[in-house]
C-alpha cells in the first residue's frame, strides 16, 4: 500500500524534475498549468446524472472493445489519463493499483483507465505500474471529446517538451497532440455518472479517499 497520497508524491516529483530541467523550462510548464487552472472545467463537460456514452476502444493487444463491455453491468471507476509518457499519470495509476484496486475488488467495482495513446503505450503504462486493472486506448479521443474533456498542450509547453526530446503526438493513435484532462468518473450499475472529478491542471489528480467516499455513498443509496 502506498504510504503517501498523490499530491505528496507529485510535490516530491516536481521538486526533482524542476531542478533537472532548469528555471526556464520550469517557468513554461508552470505558466501552462496556471492558464489551465484559470480556464476551469469546460461548460460542456460530463456531469453527474449523465448517462455514460459508449465508444469503441482498443485493448493493449489491439483488440476492439466497447466501453460498455469493458465496465460491465456493475459500478465502475473510469480514469482518463494522458499517457505512459506523463509522470503524473504514472504516479496516479500506480497509487490506484496499490491503494484503490484492492478496495474496489472487495466492492465488486471495475477499474478502467483510458488514454489516447497507442496499444503499445497502454502496455507501457501497465508495465510501469504493474497494473492489474483494465487499460484501454481511445483512438482519436472520440470518447474524451464526447465527454467534453479533450484538450491540447500550449504551443509553449509543446516546445518545451520537444526541447526535452519528447513529442506526445508520436504516442497517440491518431498522431495528434490531443489529450484528455485527467478525469475520474464513477458510474453506477445502470450506466449513470454519479461522480465526476476533472482536473484541468494535469499535476493535480483525484485522491483515492475521494473515490472511496463516493462508492460508500453509492452503496448507501445516497448518490
Over the stretch 69-108, which tens digit does the pLDDT of each residue have?
Answer: 999 999 999 999 999 999 999 999 999 999 999 999 999 9
Residue 166, pLDDT score: 87
CATH number of the domain to which 87 belongs: 3.40.30.10
Confidence of residue 168 (pLDDT cuts 50, 70, 90): confident
Q: Is residue 116 part of a domain?
A: yes
Domains: count for the chain: 1
For 102-150, what is each residue's pLDDT tens digit? Answer: 999 999 999 999 999 999 999 999 999 999 999 999 999 999 999 999 9
154 or 220, higher pLDDT: 154
d(CA 159, CA 112): 31
Question: Is 1 inside a domain boundary?
Answer: no
**SS3 state of residue 138:** coil
Stated pTM of the model: 0.95
Q: How many CB atoms lie within 10 A of CB 162?
A: 11
Output the CA–CA distances (angstroms, integers) from residue 49 to 46, 70, 125, in the order listed.
Answer: 9, 20, 30
How confident is the model at residue 221, as a pLDDT? 76
Nearest to 137 by CA among 157, 159, 119: 119
Instruction: State which residues form the domain around 202.
Output: 6-219
| pLDDT tens sequence across 1-60 | 656 899 999 999 999 999 999 999 999 999 999 999 998 999 999 999 999 999 999 999
* Contacting residues for 214 by C-beta, under 8 A, at least 6 apart: 186, 194, 195, 223
* 213 falls within a domain: yes
Segment 151-179 shows an average pLDDT of 92
Q: What is the pLDDT of residue 2?
A: 58
The pLDDT, as a whole number, for residue 219 is 83
Q: Output 195 or 168, whichever has higher pLDDT.
A: 195
Amino acid at each position: 500500500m502506498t504510504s503517501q497520497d498523490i499530491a505528496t508524491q507529485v510535490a516530491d516529483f516536481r521538486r526533482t524534475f524542476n531542478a533537472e530541467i532548469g528555471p526556464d523550462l520550469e517557468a513554461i510548464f508552470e505558466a501552462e498549468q496556471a492558464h489551465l487552472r484559470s480556464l476551469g472545467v469546460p461548460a460542456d463537460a460530463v456531469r453527474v446524472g449523465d448517462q455514460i456514452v459508449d465508444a469503441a476502444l482498443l485493448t493493449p493487444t489491439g483488440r476492439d472493445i466497447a466501453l460498455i463491455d469493458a465496465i460491465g453491468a456493475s459500478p465502475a471507476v473510469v480514469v482518463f489519463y494522458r499517457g505512459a509518457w506523463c509522470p503524473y499519470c504514472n504516479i496516479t495509476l500506480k497509487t490506484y493499483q496499490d491503494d484503490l484496486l484492492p478496495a474496489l475488488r472487495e466492492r465488486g467495482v471495475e477499474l478502467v483507465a483510458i488514454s489516447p495513446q497507442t496499444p503499445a503505450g497502454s502496455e507501457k503504462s501497465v508495465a510501469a505500474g504493474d497494473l492489474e486493472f483494465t487499460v484501454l486506448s481511445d483512438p482519436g479521443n472520440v470518447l474524451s471529446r464526447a465527454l467534453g474533456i479533450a484538450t491540447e498542450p500550449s504551443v509553449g509547453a509543446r516546445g518545451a517538451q520537444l526541447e526535452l526530446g519528447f513529442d506526445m503526438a508520436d504516442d497517440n493513435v491518431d498522431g495528434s497532440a490531443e489529450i484528455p484532462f485527467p478525469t475520474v468518473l464513477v458510474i453506477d450499475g445502470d450506466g449513470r455518472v454519479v461522480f465526476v472529478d476533472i482536473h484541468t491542471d494535469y499535476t493535480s489528480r483525484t485522491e483515492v479517499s475521494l473515490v472511496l467516499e463516493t462508492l460508500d455513498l453509492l452503496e448507501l443509496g445516497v448518490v
